[in-house]
Amino acid sequence: CRTFDLSPFERDILLLCAAVELDPMLGDICAKLQGDQDLNYPTLALALNYFPRASVTVLSQNCPLQYWRLLEYGKGLTITQAPLRIDQQILSFLLGMGNFDQKLQGIVQKLPAHRTQVPLAHSQIEIAEEIVEMWLKMAEVTPIIQLCGGDSTTRIAIAYTVAQEMGYSLRGMSAASLEDAPLDMPEIRQRWQREALLNDRLLLLDGEEVSPQDLKLGNRVYQFVDYLHTPVIVTSRERLAKLPQEVLTFEIPRLTYYEQTKIWELALGREGYEEEIRMLASNFNLSRATIQAACTRLEGEKDGLNHAGQLWDFCRKQARPQLEGLAERIESTASWEDLVLPEEQMQQLMEIANHLKYRSKVYYDWGFAGKSGRGLGITAVFHGESGTGKTLAAEVLANEFGLDLYRIDLSAVVSKWIGETEKNLSKIFDAAEGGGVVLLFDEADALFSKRTDVKDSLDRFANGKVSYLLQRMEAYQGLAILTTNLMNAIDGAFMRRLRFHVAFPFPDEESRVRIWQGIFPKAVPVEGLDYQKLGELKVAGGLIGKIGMKAAFLAAEGELVREEEVMGSAKGVYRESKRMW
């Protein structure tokens, strides 16, 4: 009675309906009292006539008997003469049997143990403890909890931990079910609240399919939880913009380097992988489920195989889908031997490689990451004319460490609409946080310019976009590279925030000769090529590669690539690039 705030009169009606279900003889008594042998069932008229403290408030839709659907009303000439029947779940509850509301079957589910009983990392346990503490402090209000970020398994496991601590049993409902459920939303909400009150349930409303841009489904979620007065945790990949004001949001941080290392050690259960684990944990941000899946693939493998390489490739493939569609993946087999650069630039690239190789040691073993989370991203700007090797250098660095290289055309990312550029960049960096990726931002001139001196709102708008990009680059756990053909157009104030500045000069004649000597693969049959003479052509490495490939196609009909095909190809490239021959 206290649970649903029933008056003594309403309690008596409910008990009468329960008694009729248990003792068929009571039907005859009902018929006798109502003076009609066909009225062998309880009615409101019967209750109003014979029960003490009777009240016509039972006719109201806000009466607890109707609002909480404790009774089912049959068809009758009037509402007071309609047959009354106790709801099946309520009868089971009164008999101490406990029962789940059958009309919620298929809408609300019991979550399987393999999704709830998942070990949590320390940072994730802390979130569960914070939620419990907040709910206990605000017991009279029961705020809505929004849990976003992380993977779905972790979100469910945190919700399950909260439920256990609060003494609730957890049930799950997909936000998508609000669109196609056989019941309308008010009935789903009322039946769920009744279920929660009767059986101490906590609802996990899974918004995995809901994106901030999905206004229709987002509104359905809002409408459902806005009138919910029992505990609910709304989970989603991204923070949902439209939720009631009393919502409390908790974001699940990515697993730390140390947490990932521990999970890898436990999941592998083998010795001798210490260095590989350090590299995996510092290069990838993976969930516990993904790490365990990677290690499961190794079970049963024979000794002597390249297990570390298999783990690395598996992790790369898990991270890839997040960036597909947002950036262009560049596949290459380029190596250090393919780079023809002055000694100074080669040393700078080697230093970048050194930072990639030893960042786990410097950041985590030696404690630099503990001093500050800022500035841990390995950032660089590659500047020089087109074709001087900027992209090739990025390919070499990516291949050296088994990383995927993704190219982002900044001119396509930049938008004139306020906030759109930042939103586009945010999608890219969020997707890349899975790890194993080198980000190459091409055409940086589209975003950077000398706008440090803010003279108007346009300058302030442009500076904001640049600052956001640099901020995300500095926080990114991998290597992020900007390329530009116009270094002088970029303000020094922005450049000072980047760790490496590598100038790619136009190759001199000696360098061009070296590039020509390595331009044709070993399988290409060449004859009589004067590399010294070819080196006199004043073109950068990118155009040399283009000339070489065109010459190969010209010679494919024959047997050999000769000077005639190369020079013919060169003339064509000169014309295309509007150069004087």
Name the strands in the sheet holding 479-484, side by side, starting at the edge strand that comes first in the sequence. Answer: 328-330, 404-409, 437-442, 479-484, 378-384, 500-504
- Amino acid type, 315: C
3 within some domain: no
Last residue of a domain, one of 251, 276, 300: 251
Beta-ladder partners of 330: 405
Report pLDDT for 298.
72
330 within some domain: no
The answer to whether residues 371 and 294 belong to one domain is no
Report pLDDT for 306.
63
Model confidence, pTM: 0.78
Last residue of a domain, one of 251, 279, 294: 251
Q: What total of structural domains would you count in the chain?
A: 5
The answer to whether residues 426 and 469 belong to one domain is yes
The answer to whether residues 84 and 229 belong to one domain is no
User: What's the token pair of residue 515?
Assistant: 């590039």
The answer to whether residues 19 and 50 belong to one domain is yes
325 within some domain: no
418 within some domain: yes
| CA 474, chain centre distance (Å) | 20
The answer to whether residues 191 and 243 belong to one domain is yes
We report the CATH number of the domain holding residue 212 as 3.40.50.300
324 within some domain: no
Segments forming the whole domain that contains residue 274: 257-318
Are the C-beta atoms of 375 and 476 separated by less than 8 Å? no
207 within some domain: yes
104 within some domain: no
Render 228-269 in DSSP notation, one character per residue: --S-EEEEESS--S---TT-EEEEPPPPPHHHHHHHHHHHH-
Last residue of a domain, one of 63, 78, 99: 99
Report pLDDT for 446.
73
Report pLDDT for 458.
46
The answer to whether residues 222 and 168 belong to one domain is yes
Angle at 476 between CA 235 and CA 343, to 5 degrees: 160
The answer to whether residues 92 and 146 belong to one domain is no
407 within some domain: yes
The answer to whether residues 78 and 58 belong to one domain is yes
The answer to whether residues 58 and 114 belong to one domain is no
Tens-digit pLDDT string for the chain (581 aa): 788 999 999 999 999 999 999 998 999 999 999 999 989 999 999 999 999 999 999 989 899 999 999 999 998 778 899 999 999 999 999 998 878 999 999 999 999 888 888 889 999 999 999 999 998 888 777 789 999 988 888 999 999 999 999 999 999 999 888 888 888 888 999 999 999 999 999 999 998 877 766 777 888 888 888 888 899 999 998 888 777 767 889 999 889 899 999 999 988 887 778 888 888 998 898 888 888 888 887 765 555 456 778 888 888 888 887 888 889 999 988 999 999 999 999 999 999 999 999 988 898 888 888 776 667 889 999 999 999 999 999 999 999 999 999 999 888 888 777 678 888 888 899 889 888 899 999 988 777 754 444 454 444 445 678 888 888 898 898 999 999 887 776 767 778 889 999 999 999 999 999 999 999 998 999 888 999 999 989 999 999 999 999 999 988 888 889 888 889 898 888 888 766 65
The answer to whether residues 376 and 460 belong to one domain is yes
The answer to whether residues 378 and 345 belong to one domain is yes
The answer to whether residues 375 and 498 belong to one domain is yes
